[in-house]
Amino acid sequence: MTLTSAIRQVDVTSSEHSAIGSKAHYRIVPAKYPARTIGTVFALIVIFAILNSVFSNPRWGWDVFAEWFFAEPVLVGLGRTLLLTFLGAFLGFLLGTGLALARVSRSPLLVGVSWTYVWIFRSIPLIVLLLILNNFGYLYETVTVGVPYTGINFFSWSTTQLITPFAAAVLGLTLNAAAFSSEIVRGGILSVDQGQLEAAAALSLPRRRQFSRIVLPQAMRTILPNGFNEIILLAKGTSQVYILALPELFYTIQIIYRRNLEVIPLLMVATVWYLVILTVLSLIQRHIERHYARGALRNPPPSLFTNVFRRFAGPAAAPSPTAETAARPVERRTAIAPLRSRGGAVTIHGVSKSFGHLKVLDNVTLTIPAGSVTTILGQSGSGKSTLLRSINHLERVDDGFIAIDGELIGYRQHGETLYELKEKDILKRRVEVGMVFQNFNLFPHLTVLENIIEAPVAVRRIPREQADAEALGLLARIGLSDKAHAYPRQLSGGQQQRVAIARALALKPKVLLFDEPTSALDPELVNEVLDVIKELARSGTTLIIVTHEIGFAREVSDLVVFMEQGRILETGTTEKVFSRPEHPRTAGFLAKVL
């Protein structure tokens, strides 16, 4: 194509555009999909043919169906099916959750017990298990509670009286469901990102709270679809208790059709009741899944209720969030006032750490003055992050110790010996050290405000109103007041990292650790985070920053540490390290990056 023809073509296109732009309203004709229309018509014909055949064929016996559908014995059987399903699912998931926790615990004994349980009970067919439990009285005539091997007994029952057919059914269904649900719950726990646990631990949340508030709600997204599958299988599986002559829904139906020989209509009674049970379970599942989907999607689809409301009220009735946000004035950040009068002094003494044969920290000794800003520089893999994570004991060191204001993190000293603290005591000491991660590690199922107040409320026991007020103050300082009720996935990377900084600050730590806070950000978002850290540098809190942003390190640091192969090669003021590096490796590194 020549240049003139190209220009002519552009002219034609732009004149077409201006013709389109001149008219106010157009009729929009939707695209046509003939194959889709033919498919829909075919499906309607097939559905009509099936329904017509089902309702016009007298052998289906719909009159008998109507007679028995609400009959008392059927409803009693249905009630028993529902009770067995509820008890089996509830107790099964309770036991299954315990087994899953045992399986992911650090105790080899608990792991072994859980693994063996799942291995045995997933192998035994339910029907066999039910029969064994029903015949337990043959194996053990009495069940006794007492002190073993002493002859001291408190209670004694006859096994056949204790394990009735109903108890055997509940026990069998529970033991069976527990084995399967344990794997479902374990799958859910494993699906939660490791960073979430680290962030919860860095915020000093107690173990139980880490599980109930952070891990479980996120694991539920994975647990729920499989879990409801298991409950639905259980609801249908209850029909196997017919082997114990227990008249649940299906067994009742069998008794009736053996008497009146109306097999098909009565099987339809059972089928329709099972359909009703499954429909109700599916609706419950949908509702619970929506609850646990909080924050999982950037733009969650509206609920069924909202859809119906919008249809009747018209689109204008729903407020437009974009209009609302647009109307808000652009917020300006206010300077970050000192959060505490004095940061903590950090003493790192003779710290070494290996991963297998790889020595990652080699006899590191460093003193960081209270209220100072220290940046740790060095090539990739030199041990910077490991040193930082050792300061708040996220990484356990092999040798040496780290203290904040003279108080050891992770250990108790007695004479020449250091005793490692229990996890709950480590969590208490960790409150003094905040941490901001490279990948933010915000809790995606909690709003920005909930992320920030989680630790102050759970760890420092600050009343909710006060925690909210302080969190809103922090959000104003980082210029994100209007995002208090947004979920992390609805924020940009830079905004997420600013919230992560606010979350760490909310505990008012003496020392704040930054692990490459900008390396997961697009270049244009880096400055907004660095600006917040610069403000913080004047706040009195001790900051220790691992970063590859050399210009920023030069501007903000009081102390610069250069690491290589797990050792500190050089430490000094910014002026000294950047202008007159002593070690040739430091000079080489700076020459490369500056």
Ligand X SMILES: Nc1ncnc2c1ncn2[C@@H]1O[C@H](COP(=O)(O)OP(=O)(O)OP(=O)(O)O)[C@@H](O)[C@H]1O
Which residues here bind ligand X, judged by CB under 6 A? 355, 358, 360, 378, 380-386
Beta carbons within 10 angstroms of residue 297's beta carbon = 12
CA distance 362 to 568: 9
Q: Least distance (Å) from ligand X to the CB of residue 542?
A: 20
The 3-state DSSP class for residue 7 equals helix
By beta-carbon proximity to ligand X, the closer residue of 180 and 562 is 562
By beta-carbon proximity to ligand X, the closer residue of 259 and 357 is 357
Q: Least distance (Å) from ligand X to the CB of residue 204?
A: 21
CA distance 233 to 92: 13
Could you tell me which of 511, 503, 502 has the C-alpha nearest to residue 543?
A: 511
Q: Least distance (Å) from ligand X to the CB of residue 389?
A: 8
Identify the residue whose tokens are 């209270």. Answer: 370
By beta-carbon proximity to ligand X, the closer residue of 345 and 348 is 348
CA distance 257 to 50: 25
Q: Least distance (Å) from ligand X to the CB of residue 396?
A: 11
CA distance 91 to 172: 11
Sign for the CA dihedral angle at 38, 44, 47, 50 comes to: negative
Question: Which of the 8 DSSP states describes residue 444?
Answer: T
By beta-carbon proximity to ligand X, the closer residue of 383 and 517 is 383
Q: Least distance (Å) from ligand X to the CB of residue 566?
A: 7
For 292, the enclosing helix (H) or strand (E) is helix 263-292
Identify the residue whose tokens are 């859980």. Answer: 114
CA distance 594 to 592: 6
Q: Least distance (Å) from ligand X to the CB of residue 101?
A: 23
By beta-carbon proximity to ligand X, the closer residue of 177 and 546 is 546
Does residue 584 contact residue 393 with C-beta atoms inside 8 Å? no
Q: Which residues in 504-513 are b (16+ Cβ under 10 Å) and which e?
A: bbbbebbbbb
Q: Least distance (Å) from ligand X to the CB of residue 198?
A: 11
Q: Least distance (Å) from ligand X to the CB of residue 200?
A: 18
By beta-carbon proximity to ligand X, the closer residue of 18 and 380 is 380
By beta-carbon proximity to ligand X, the closer residue of 345 and 388 is 388
By beta-carbon proximity to ligand X, the closer residue of 383 and 509 is 383
The DSSP bridge partners found for residue 404 are 346, 407
By beta-carbon proximity to ligand X, the closer residue of 13 and 365 is 365
Q: Least distance (Å) from ligand X to the CB of residue 550?
A: 13
Q: Tell how strand 511-515 and strand 542-546 pair up.
A: parallel
By beta-carbon proximity to ligand X, the closer residue of 285 and 363 is 363
Identify the residue whose tokens are 């036991």. Answer: 95
By beta-carbon proximity to ligand X, the closer residue of 234 and 512 is 512
CA distance 117 to 99: 8
Instruction: Give the contacts of 384 (CB within 8 A, at least 6 positions apart).
Output: 376, 377, 378, 546, 563
Q: Torsions phi, psi of 344, nearest 5?
A: -100, 150
Q: 139: which 2 tokens? A: 């194996």
Q: Least distance (Å) from ligand X to the CB of residue 2?
A: 54
CA distance 316 to 205: 44
By beta-carbon proximity to ligand X, the closer residue of 170 and 391 is 391
End-to-end distance of the chain based on CA atoms, in angstroms? Answer: 47
Could you tell me which of 224, 217, 234 has the C-alpha nearest to residue 92?
A: 234
Instruction: Give the contacts of 470 (CB within 8 A, at least 6 positions apart).
Output: 453, 456, 462, 506
- Angstrom CA distances, 238 to 27, 81, 184, 209, 285, stand at 58, 6, 20, 35, 20
Q: Least distance (Å) from ligand X to the CB of residue 548?
A: 7
Question: Which of the 8 DSSP states describes residue 134?
Answer: H
CA distance 372 to 375: 10
Q: Least distance (Å) from ligand X to the CB of residue 434?
A: 19
Q: 570: which 2 tokens? A: 């050089």
By beta-carbon proximity to ligand X, the closer residue of 382 and 542 is 382
What does the DSSP assignment read for 189-211? HHHS-HHHHHHHHHTT--HHHII
Q: Least distance (Å) from ligand X to the CB of residue 571?
A: 16
Q: Least distance (Å) from ligand X to the CB of residue 428?
A: 25
By beta-carbon proximity to ligand X, the closer residue of 141 and 193 is 193
The DSSP bridge partners found for residue 300 are none
